[in-house]
């Protein structure tokens, strides 16, 4: 199918997905629509037990044939945002919006399915197509992995739209392009009392202030200036009036770092700061942190493979623009070599904004690149 024909097929599907955004693990209509389109192409849907989202398979290799398997991943969920784009195909549901381009990703994977289904008989292996639920709530990738449907996959490719790149331009870089992301909670237990008699208290507010101020020294003094990281304190509680020192105070925030190990170092350093303040303030402090998704970790050789393949298709390719947001595609990369690349969509507003628009013009380019990557990866893997 030529690019124009493909684009004509994809735009109505994209507009349908855009009109019908659903939140993580509630993507029932979306999943039904994907099933319907795949069934029309004669593509096999695997029995994974996923309630929303699905994994499909194209290729003539049997599971035990020894022929390689690669995967393409798109995410399908929307966000709890009321759309204000003014598009004729805007969301039909108030408080629900495809504001992160997952409608674009879903359609691009379907476009790759159209192209790969045409070549089914000659593919030297199998391509698995992942329509992942619940990326925004960071549980979807783990759920797909837990089905075992990807156990035989040797390489994986995924995409994300980028408003920061010109429409159709491919952004791809080795290593971390999306951050390791997570949060921390700190509860300070002191001893409350009269604000005029601080010597009779263990003031949790002073401890809170010291932690906030010192936490900012981690990125500025402990992290390598060439390794981007962020510590943001976003929620503070303590006390409720002017003349009482409260018994307790609370701090919450987020850590982001373009590297999973660096993230852990920052989280541990914050723990040391908390310990120090605990000692000097005479309070008792509970500190917990988590990492909801590790950093994207693009295989360097495969990143070059993506850029070269894009150029073969006549697409402009440059580095990706690193992002302090998280992406649970990184969970697949902990098990399977792969690359998460960007495609430019232009647009005035960033992702997660009520006026965000993922222009559909580069859909056929995205689909062609996905299909070509899968095909070339199978050829390469079957000859090694």
Tell me which residues touch Ni ion (CB under 5 A): 100
Are 51 and 146 spatial neighbours (Cβ–Cβ below 8 Å)? Answer: no
Tokens of 60: 């003539």
Surface-to-core class of residue 324, CB atoms within 10 Å of its CB (0-12 exposed, 13-18 middle, 19+ buried): middle
> CB of residue 160 vs Ni ion: minimum separation in angstroms?
6
Instruction: For CA atoms 183, 188, 194, 195, give the dihedral sign.
Output: negative
Are 348 and 86 spatial neighbours (Cβ–Cβ below 8 Å)? Answer: no
Q: Smaller CB distance to Ni ion: residue 137 or 280?
A: 137
Task: Indicate the Cα dihedral angle 275, 276, 279, 284, nearest 10°.
Answer: -30
Q: Smaller CB distance to Ni ion: residue 9 or 102?
A: 102
Q: Smaller CB distance to Ni ion: residue 24 or 238?
A: 24
Rounded distance between C-alpha atoms, residue 132 and residue 143, angstroms: 9
Residue recorded with tokens 């398997």: 69
> CB of residue 4 vs Ni ion: minimum separation in angstroms?
28
Rounded distance between C-alpha atoms, residue 373 and residue 185, angstroms: 42
Give start and end residues of each alpha helix (H) in the chain.
Answer: 3-19, 28-41, 102-118, 140-146, 204-217, 260-281, 300-312, 329-333, 363-382
> CB of residue 75 vs Ni ion: minimum separation in angstroms?
6
Q: Smaller CB distance to Ni ion: residue 289 or 356?
A: 356
Q: Smaller CB distance to Ni ion: residue 135 or 278?
A: 135
Q: Which residues pair with 164 in a beta bridge?
A: none
Position closest to Ni ion via CB: 100
In sequence order, the 6+-apart residues with CB closer than 8 A to the CB of 267 are 182, 184, 255, 289, 291
Tell me 219's DSSP state: I
Q: Smaller CB distance to Ni ion: residue 100 or 134?
A: 100
- 282 phi, psi to nearest 5 deg: 70, 15
Tell me 20's DSSP state: S
> CB of residue 142 vs Ni ion: minimum separation in angstroms?
16
Q: Smaller CB distance to Ni ion: residue 100 or 367?
A: 100
Are 111 and 363 spatial neighbours (Cβ–Cβ below 8 Å)? Answer: yes
Q: Smaller CB distance to Ni ion: residue 188 or 323?
A: 323
Q: Smaller CB distance to Ni ion: residue 100 or 374?
A: 100
């Amino acid at each position: 199918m030529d690019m124009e024909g493909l684009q004509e097929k994809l735009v109505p599907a994209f507009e349908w997905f855009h009109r019908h955004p659903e939140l993580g693990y509630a993507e029932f209509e979306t999943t039904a629509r994907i099933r319907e389109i795949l069934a029309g192409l004669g593509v096999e849907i695997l029995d994974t037990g996923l309630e929303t989202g699905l994994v499909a398979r194209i290729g003539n290799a049997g599971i035990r044939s020894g022929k390689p398997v690669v995967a393409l991943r798109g995410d399908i969920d929307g966000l709890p945002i009321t759309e204000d784009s003014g598009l004729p195909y805007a969301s039909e549901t108030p408080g629900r919006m495809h504001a992160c381009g997952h409608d674009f990703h879903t359609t691009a994977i379907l476009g790759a399915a159209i192209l790969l289904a045409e070549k089914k008989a000659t593919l030297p292996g199998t391509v698995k197509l992942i329509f992942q639920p619940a990326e925004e709530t960071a549980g979807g990738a783990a759920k797909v992995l837990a089905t075992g449907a990807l156990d035989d996959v040797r390489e994986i490719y995924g995409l994300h739209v980028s408003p920061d790149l010109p429409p159709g331009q491919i952004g791809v870089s080795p290593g971390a392009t999306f951050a390791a992301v997570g949060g921390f909670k700190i509860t300070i237990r002191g001893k409350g009392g009269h604000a005029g008699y601080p010597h009779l208290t263990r003031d949790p507010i002073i401890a809170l202030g010291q932690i906030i101020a010192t936490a900012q020294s981690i990125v500025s003094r402990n992290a390598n200036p060439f390794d981007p990281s962020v510590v943001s304190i976003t929620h503070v509680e303590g006390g409720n009036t002017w003349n009482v020192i409260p018994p307790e105070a609370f701090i919450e925030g987020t850590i982001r770092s373009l590297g999973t190990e660096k993230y852990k170092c920052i989280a541990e350093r914050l723990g040391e700061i908390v310990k120090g303040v605990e000692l000097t303030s005479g309070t008792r402090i509970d500190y917990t942190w988590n990492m909801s998704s590790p950093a994207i970790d693009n295989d360097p050789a495969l990143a070059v493979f993506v850029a070269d393949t894009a150029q073969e298709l006549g697409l402009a390719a440059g580095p990706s623009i690193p992002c302090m947001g998280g992406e649970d595609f990184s969970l697949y990369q902990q098990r399977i070599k792969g690359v998460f690349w960007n495609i430019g969509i232009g647009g005035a507003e960033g992702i997660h904004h009520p006026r965000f628009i993922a222009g559909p013009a580069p859909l056929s380019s995205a689909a062609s690149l996905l299909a070509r990557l899968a095909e070339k990866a199978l050829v390469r893997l079957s000859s090694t």
